[in-house]
Amino acid sequence: MTLYRLDASIRVAGSASGELASIVEQEWLAAHPGDTVVRRHLGTDPIPADAWPLALAASQTPEADRTPEQRQAVALAATLVDELLAADAIVLAVPLYNFGVSQHIKAWIDLVVTDPRSAPGGAPLLAGKPVVLVTVRGGAYGPGTPREGWDHSTAYLAHFLGTVWGADLTAVEREFTLVGVNPALDEFTDLAASMHTDALDAARRAGRALAATASPGHGQGEPAPAGASV
């Protein structure tokens, strides 16, 4: 079986989203030793910004008249969709940047959507596929906080993965990752530590559930594993 891991942090060392995705990955490998993990790191290997308009232009251009750049963009979109379809389970690690969706993950979604296999009206691209969405935020956005409602990334991603693409989605979230980095947040040190511990636990649970849900025998009578489905 294959686990597909997609990272969107702009850093590799010290990535909080990467830490949680690695735990999900470890739990997967503990249950599926020797399985393949296919990785794509959008932070270090971004989708070219012009791939999306090129793929869209290609879709309105007869095959024989397409430019080499258009063909390359169409091929990249196909590769991304191939990766998703070949996966038995998926984990995405996506930070909050500037209160919105990471441009790297948005460029990836936009390009995937250009492939005919994700066209509206067809089967949802990830129908029933178990997916863990790891999201991390430097600040905190819970009910009653000064910035409640300022996270314009998480709901969008959950909507796209779960509602548009039909994934069986579980969210693992961590907030206050900038505590210890930004001195203005020092008063939240204990709360941030507790949030970190909770997120590590949630990642372990989500990884185990992902591995169980994607197992070949799953769905043949045994109860579904508990997860924080969104």
Site residues, ligand FMN (CB under 6 A): 9, 11, 15-18, 95-99, 136-139, 177-178
Residue 104 token pair: 């790297």
Residue whose structure tokens are 């830490």: 19
- For ligand FMN, give the closer residue by CB, 95 or 162: 95
d(CA 123, CA 117): 8
- Which residue lies nearer to ligand FMN by CB, 81 or 192? 192
Q: How far is the CB of 122 from ligand FMN (least distance, A)?
A: 33
The minimum distance between CB 104 and ligand FMN, in angstroms, equals: 12
Residue nearer to ligand FMN on the CB measure, 27 or 151: 151
21 Cα distance to chain centroid? 9
CB atoms near residue 128 (< 10 Å): 12
Cβ-based nearer residue to ligand FMN, 104 or 137: 137
Name the residue whose CB lies closest to ligand FMN.
Answer: 138
Which of 56, 49, 150 minimizes the C-alpha distance to 98? 150
- Shortest Å distance, C-beta 39 to ligand FMN: 15
Cα-only R_g, the chain = 19
DSSP-assigned beta bridge partners for residue 3: 37, 89
Nearer to ligand FMN by C-beta: 51 or 140?
140
* CB within 8 Å of 92: residues ≥ 6 apart: 5, 6, 7, 8, 21, 105, 131, 132, 133, 134, 157, 161
| Least gap, CB of 9 to ligand FMN (angstroms) | 3
C-beta of 97 vs 117, nearer to ligand FMN? 97
The nearest distance, CB 21 to ligand FMN, in angstroms, is 9
Task: State the minimum distance, in angstroms, from the CB of residue 228 to ligand FMN.
Answer: 20
Q: Are strands 130-136 and 89-95 parallel, antiparallel or unpaired?
A: parallel
Query: E strands, the chain, where?
Result: 2-7, 36-41, 89-95, 130-136, 168-174
